Amino acid sequence: MGKSIESLVGHKMMLSFLGTEPTPYVLNWLQNRVAGGVTIFRYRNVESAHQVRELTDTLNRSAVQNGDLPLLIAADHEGGQLMGLGNDLTPSPGNMALGATRSPELAFAVGQVMGTECAALGINVDYAPSCDVNSNPQNPVIGIRSFGEDPELVGEMAAALSSGLQDAGVVSVLKHFPGHGDTQDDSHHGIPVVDAGIERLWDVELRPFQAAIRAGAKMLMSAHVGIPVLNEGKIVPSTLSYPVLHTLLRERLGFNGVVVSDAMDMGAIKQGEAMGEDILEAAKANLDLFLMTDSEDSHEIAYKAMIKGLQTNAISEATIKKSVDRILQLKKWVGQQKQPDMSVVRSKKHLDVVQEVANRAVTLVRNDAGLLPLQLDTDAKVAVIVPEFKELTPADTSASEKQSLATAVRHYHAHVDEFIVPHLPDAATIADLRERANQYDLIIVGTIEASRQQEQVDLVKALLDTAVPVIPVAIRTPYDLMAYPQAKTYVCTYSIQEPAMKALAAALFGEIPFKGKLPTQIPSLYTFGHAITQ
C-alpha cells in the first residue's frame, strides 16, 4: 500500500456513477487514484446479468491496485422488494418471508443463492441482510426488509443469511446499525430518531447485530439514524457518531470488520460543500468506507475534505491507517474467492430454494367463514384485483416486478378475470369494481401496505360490503387487516414476486398447506407467531 495521503484517502471511497459502462470520470479515478471500490445500483447501472458481469470485469481491469487486491464491488441486493441486480437473477425472497418460515436453514440457503449469483456477476459485497427489528408497523422504509419484530428471530435469521452469503464468497453487510426498525421517518429524507433507553437498545435493536457479528459477518453499514441516549441527548446521525461507531460498535460489541456508511446523498447528511464537514466527522468516528452516489462533485468534496483533514491534523493519520488496514484485510479475503460461472444464475437449484421459501412463508391469519381451501364449481367466475406495483421508498424495485397472481390462480381454475388498479384507486375505480363484483363468485384482492394507503382500504371495504366472498391478501407488510378488520378471511405472502404468487394460489386451492407464522403482531388483532396451519 502506498503511504501517501492520497492513497490512504482513496481506499476509503466507494465510488458510483450513472450508466451501464464506467464514466470517463470513474475510469480516470481508477487509473490515476486508489479506490476502495464501487457500488452498482439497479436503476443506474444494471441492464442485464451479463452486462453487469462485463461491467465488473471492466472496473477491475481499469483499477490501479496494490498487488493483486481487487476492488470491492458492491450491490444493494437484499431480495424481496429490493432486487438490486435486476430480475435476471433468482427472485430471492425478502427477509420477512423468511421470518415467516422460522427456518434459519432456509435463510442460509437463500444467502448462498444470493451470494453465488452475486459472485458470478463480479459482485463481491452485498449490502445485506437488514438486521433491523420492525417493531413499528408504521415504519415507512423497513417493513418487509426486516425478518420481523422479535429480536431473537431477527438475529437468528440474519446470522444465517449472512453466513450463507459469505459461504458463497461474498461479503455480507449488516445494516442499518444500530437499528432503523423503530422509526416513523425515512433517512433518505431526514434524520429519523430512535428515542429509546440503553436497556431497550440492548434488548431489541442491538441483539440481531450481536448475533450476526458472532456468526462472523465481515462488514456493517451505519444508519443515518439519531440515537439521543448514545449522544448525550443530541440528535446526530449514527454515521457521524464516535460513541456509536467506536465506543458501542468497536469496544462494546467487539466488531473488528469494515464499516461502510449508508448512502451519503441521503437527507440526513449535509449536501453540497457542507458535506465535507460530515465526511470529517464520520472519518473521526472510525467509519471506514464512504458509500458515494453518482454525483462527481460529491466524490471530489469527500476526497478533498479528507485530504485537507489529514494535512491539517483535523483527522488522525493513525486512525485512517487503522481503517485502511481493515479495508485491505477484507480485500485479501475477497481476492481468495473463486468466481462462479454464469450458469448458476437462475438455475433450477436456486429457483427450487426460493419456491420452498414462498411455500413455507404463506400465512393463513383468518379463516372465520371456512372458505379455505377453495372448492369452486368448475364454471365459477373469479376476479383477481391487485394494485399496480409501485416503489414506495428509494430502497425499492417493486415497479420492475410483473403481475403474476391471476396467472397463478388460472393454474387451478379456468374462469379468472384480472383487474390491475391504480396503486391508490380513486372513487370512480372503486365504484366500478364494486358494481362489477356481483358478476363473480369469488374475489381475491391483493393489498400493498393498505394500513398506510387509505384508498386501498376503501376498495377492500367496498368489496367486503357486497354479497360476494372476498379473500384479502396482504402482499407486502402483514398489518393491512388493521384497516379492514371485518374481513373474515385474511392471508399474508410478504411478497409480490412470482414464487409467492404461485405459493398463494397453491395454498388457496389446497395443493399445499399453509405453514407460515406471523413474524410480527397485527396490533389489537393477532400476536406474533399466530397462524392457522393445515
Name the burial class of residue 53, with classes exposed (0-12), middle (13-18) and buried (19+) by CB atoms within 10 angstroms of its CB: middle
Helix (H, G, I), strand (E, B) or coil at 206: helix
Specify whether 188 is catalytic: yes
Q: Which phi and psi angles does 473 have, rounded to 5°? A: -125, 120
Q: In 10 A of CB 341, how many CB atoms?
A: 7
Q: Which amino acid is at 393?
A: T
Q: What is the DSSP string of 288-311?
A: -BEE--S-HHHHHHHHHHHHHHHH
Q: In 10 A of CB 368, how many CB atoms?
A: 10
Give the cell for residue 111. 444467502
Sheet with 125-126, edge to edge strand ranges: 258-260, 219-222, 171-177, 125-126, 72-75, 37-40, 13-15, 290-291
Q: How far is CA 127 from the centre of its chain?
A: 8
* Cα–Cα nearest to 83, from 46, 51, 33, 112: 46
Q: Which phi and psi angles does 288 have, rounded to 5°? A: -90, -50
Three-state SS letters, 168-189? CCCEEEEEEECCCCCCCCCCCC
Q: Are 434 and 428 in contact (CB under 8 A)?
A: no
Q: Which phi and psi angles does 259 have, rounded to 5°? A: -115, 125
Catalytic pick among 185, 262, 288, 480:
262
Helix (H, G, I), strand (E, B) or coil at 365: strand
Write the DSSP symbol of residue 381. -
Write the DSSP symbol of residue 130. B
Specify whether 195 is catalytic: no
Show Cβ contacts of residue 1 under 8 Å, excluding neighbours closer than 6 positions: 7, 11, 66, 324, 328
Helix (H, G, I), strand (E, B) or coil at 44: helix
Show Cβ contacts of residue 333 under 8 Å, excluding neighbours closer than 6 positions: 171, 218
Helix (H, G, I), strand (E, B) or coil at 323: helix
Q: How far apart are CA 118 and CA 112, in angstroms?
A: 10
Catalytic pick among 188, 224, 350, 423:
188
* 518-529: b (≥16 Cβ within 10 Å) or e: bbbbbeeebeee
Q: Are 148 and 116 in contact (CB under 8 A)?
A: no
User: Which of the residues are catalytic?
Assistant: 188, 262
